[in-house]
Amino acid sequence: MQSVIKLCALLLVSFATLATSSSHAIENRLSPLGINTNEAMDINASVPFIDLFRLASAFNESRPWLTKGKVIYDKNGWPSELIKDAQAGTRFLNNIQAESIPKGIYTVKYHGQGRIRYGGNIQLLRHYPGRDLIRFRPVKNRITGTLTITKTNKNNYIRDIRIIMPGGICKNKPMKRVAAAKDCAGKPFQSFVSHYQRLVFNPDYLEFMKIFRVIRFMNMSGITRNNLSKWKDRPQLTDATWGGKEGVRGIPLEIMISLANKLDADPWINLPHRADNNFVQQTARLVKRYLKPSLKSYIEYTNEAWNGIFSQAHYIQNQGVHLGLDANRTYAGLKYYSKRSVEIFKIWEKIFGNTSRLVRVMGGMTTNISMTHMLLGYQDAFRHVDAFAIAPYFHASQQAVKNVKSVDEVFKLLTSPRNKYSIPRTMNIVRNQAKIVERYGVDLVAYEGGQHLVAYGTHTNTEAGNEFLIAANKDQRMAKLYYDFLKGWKDAGGKLFAAFSAPREYNWIGSWGIKEHIAQHPNDAPKYRGLMYFQKKNRCWWNNCATTRPIARKGKPSYNPGSHEMARRFKPALPKVVSIEPAKRPIVKRGSVVARLSREKK
C-alpha cells in the first residue's frame, strides 16, 4: 500500500510541475498532424513505458497456458493466494521484433515472498530478494516474455512487479535514452531502475511522439467494445496490469494526461459509449485540473458509432429506439449519437467554465454525406460542434487486393481514377465533406487516415495478396504517396490530420503503423518519412493553429443547413396499420425504410 501511495504522489507532483513548466521546447505547435496511439497489449511495438510489465495481460486472462488451478486475486488483480498446485502467469511481450526494446540487463522488482519462473526468450541471470536480473535472448530476431508466479506467501504475496529497462536519461532530457552516467558528460544521471515511477515513459516513445500536435488516445484508453459506465470501474494507477483483452484493457486517464503534458500535445479524449454523466463529469474535472493550461482537450463521444462491427454502434441504436428518435433503427442510433455528443459537450463546457480550452468533435463516415447532415443537423447539434471528424483511407476493393500479383499492381490501384477507393477518388469525397461542414460552421478534421491495405478473412501473411500489400507498405514509393495524399487533404479543405497509427507490426491484420516498431530507422519507414516531409513543407494552415490561444471558431449560420436534407432524406417512417379482421385490434408494423447508411463502406 505504501508503494501505491508513493506512486500516486509522484504522478501528482509530475502533473503540478508539468502544468507550469516544460522540460523541452515546444516542437509540435506548427504541425498539422496528430497521431493515434496503440492498444494496451503485449504486442504493442511502440513500447510506451519504461516498465514493460505495464502492458502485460491480466493474470486471470492467461488460462490455460500460464495460469492454472485455483487462484485468489486481490482487488488490484494480483494473485494473493495459490491453492495447492496452482500457478498464476502472464505474458508481457508477444513475439515483438528484438530492435523494439533496448539491449542489456533488465531489472525485475517486486514486493512479497514467493517464486517466479520466467519463460519465452528470458534468461535469469541473478536472483535477489525482491529483485531479479534478466536478459532477453532473441530467436530469429523475435522476443517473447512470460512470467509465472509458482509460489507465493499468502500473508506477503508477490505483487507490484516491475520489469524495468536498462539505462536511464540525463536529467531534464527525457527524450534521449543513455546507457550509463558516463554518457551525461558530468550532468546528473537518472537511472530507470531508480526513477521509473517518475519518468514513466520510454524515451524512444517520447522522441517519436513529440512531433505531433494532437495525441488521439482512443486505442490507449481501451474504449472500443468496452461496457465501462461507472467512474469507479475505470482503469486505475494501482491495477496490476493495464494490458489484456479488448473491452477490459486500458491505460489510466492520469497517465494519458501526463503524456500529453510531457509532449506539449493536445489530448484527444474518447468517452466510452456507456459512460454515465458522473463519468463524463469526473473525466472533465481530472483533465481540467491536471492538463497544462496552454493545452486544449479534444472531446469525442465513443469511436465510430456508425460502424456495425463495434458494440457501441448497437448500443446507440438501442438507445435511439428506446427513446423513439426514429422508426428506422439506423437513423435512431445516429440521432442518439448526435444528441448524446451534445450532452457530453455541455457537461465539459460547464466543468471548464467555457469552451476556450475545448475542441468538440463529432465523428462521421467519410463516404456518407447524408450521415454528416443527420449528425450535425439533428436538433441543431452543429451549434455545439467545432470539428467534424472523418477517416480518409485509400485502398482498393476486397476483390482487387486479394488478386494482386505484384507490388507494382498495388501502387497502380492506389492512384487509378477507376478505383473508387484510390487517392484521387478519396479526395473528391473529402472535398464534398469539406463543403458540407463549411455550411454548418464546422472544421473538417481526420480522426484516422492513411493506407488501408488489408485482405479481410485471411489469416496468414502469404494468403491472397497479403505479401504484396505488406511489401507495398515497406516500399519507398509509399513515402511519396503519403505526401501526395496529405497534400490532397489540405487542398480539399481538411485541417488537422491524425494518422493511424503509432508503430505497430505489419501482417495479415493490416499494416497500420507508420513505423513497424518504435526504434525503426526512418530510412526503413516510408510512411513515416512521407508524413515528416509533408509536415516540414506545410505548417498548419488554419487560423490560430500556431498559438496556444483558443481555436478560431467559425461563425454559425442563423438557420439549420440540414433542415432540407432532414426533411427530404430522413423523414421518420410512420407505422403502417394493417387490419387482419374487423373484430380484432389492428396489428402495427414498422414501415420499410432502406437503411442505406449502414451498408455504405468506410
Question: Are 108 and 188 members of one domain?
Answer: yes
Question: Are 227 and 135 members of one domain?
Answer: no
Q: Is 186 left (phi over 0), alpha (psi -120 to 50) or beta?
A: left
CB 199 within 8 A of CB 169: yes
Question: Are 195 and 213 members of one domain?
Answer: no
- Whose cell is 479543405? That residue is 493
d(CA 216, CA 37): 6
Query: 26 vs 11, 77, 128, 171, CA distance in Å?
Result: 22, 38, 43, 18
Share of the chain above pLDDT 70, in %: 90
What's residue 552's pLDDT?
A: 81
The domain tally of the chain equals: 3
Residue 558 belongs to some domain of the structure? no
Question: Are 109 and 127 members of one domain?
Answer: yes
Residue 171 belongs to some domain of the structure? yes
Position 325, amino acid: L
Q: What is the bridge-based pairing of β-strands 33-36 and 114-120? A: unpaired
Residue 545 belongs to some domain of the structure? no
Confidence of residue 586 (pLDDT cuts 50, 70, 90): very low
The string of DSSP codes covering 364-429 is: --TT-HHHHHHHHHGGGGGGG-SEEEE--EE---HHHHTS--SHHHHHHHHH-TTSTTSHHHHHHH
19 contact partners, CB below 8 Å, separation of at least 6? 261, 290, 291, 292, 293
d(CA 502, CA 475): 18
For the chain, helix, strand, coil in percent to 5 are: 35, 20, 45
Question: Are 341 and 363 members of one domain?
Answer: yes
d(CA 540, CA 547): 11
Cell of 332: 435512431
d(CA 344, CA 347): 5
The Cβ of residue 276 has, within 10 Å, a number of other Cβ atoms equal to: 12
Question: Are 211 and 314 members of one domain?
Answer: yes
Residue 561 belongs to some domain of the structure? no
Q: For 452, which DSSP code?
A: -
SS (H, E, C) 157-207: CCEEEEEECCCEEECCCCCCCECCHHHHCCCCEEEHHHHHHHHCECHHHHH
Question: Are 234 and 139 members of one domain?
Answer: no
Residue 20 belongs to some domain of the structure? yes
d(CA 397, CA 349): 42
Question: Are 374 and 357 members of one domain?
Answer: yes
Cell of 538: 506545410
- The CATH number assigned to the domain holding 224 equals 3.20.20
How does pLDDT run across 8-53, given as a tens digit for each residue? 545 544 444 444 344 444 679 999 999 999 999 999 999 999 999 9
Residue numbers of the domain that contains 13: 2-30+49-199
CB 315 within 8 A of CB 321: no
SS (H, E, C) 538-559: CCCCCCCCCCCCCCCCCCCCCC
Cell of 168: 536511464
What's residue 598's pLDDT?
A: 36
What's residue 570's pLDDT?
A: 62
Question: Are 65 and 140 members of one domain?
Answer: yes
CB 480 within 8 A of CB 389: no
d(CA 183, CA 166): 14
Residue 38 belongs to some domain of the structure? no
| pLDDT score of 588 more than 50 | no
What's residue 599's pLDDT?
A: 32
What's residue 26's pLDDT?
A: 67
Question: Are 461 and 581 members of one domain?
Answer: no
Residue 505 belongs to some domain of the structure? yes
* 108 SS3 class: strand
How does pLDDT run across 89-117, given as a tens digit for each residue? 999 999 999 999 999 999 999 999 999 99
pTM: 0.91
Q: Determine the average pLDDT of the residues in 326-341.
A: 95
| pLDDT score of 576 more than 90 | no
Residues in the chain: 602
343 contact partners, CB below 8 Å, separation of at least 6? 277
What's residue 211's pLDDT?
A: 96
d(CA 304, CA 447): 10
**The last residue of a domain, from among 537, 553, 577:** 537
What's residue 571's pLDDT?
A: 56
Question: Are 177 and 215 members of one domain?
Answer: no
d(CA 205, CA 422): 32
| pLDDT score of 73 more than 80 | yes
**The last residue of a domain, from among 199, 216, 234:** 199
Question: Are 417 and 506 members of one domain?
Answer: yes
SS (H, E, C) 487-523: HHHHHHCCCCEEECCCCCCCECCECCCCCCCCCCCHH
**The last residue of a domain, from among 178, 199, 220:** 199
| pLDDT score of 593 more than 80 | no
Residue 114 belongs to some domain of the structure? yes
How does pLDDT run across 511-559, given as a tens digit for each residue? 999 999 999 999 999 999 999 999 999 999 999 898 877 888 889 999 9
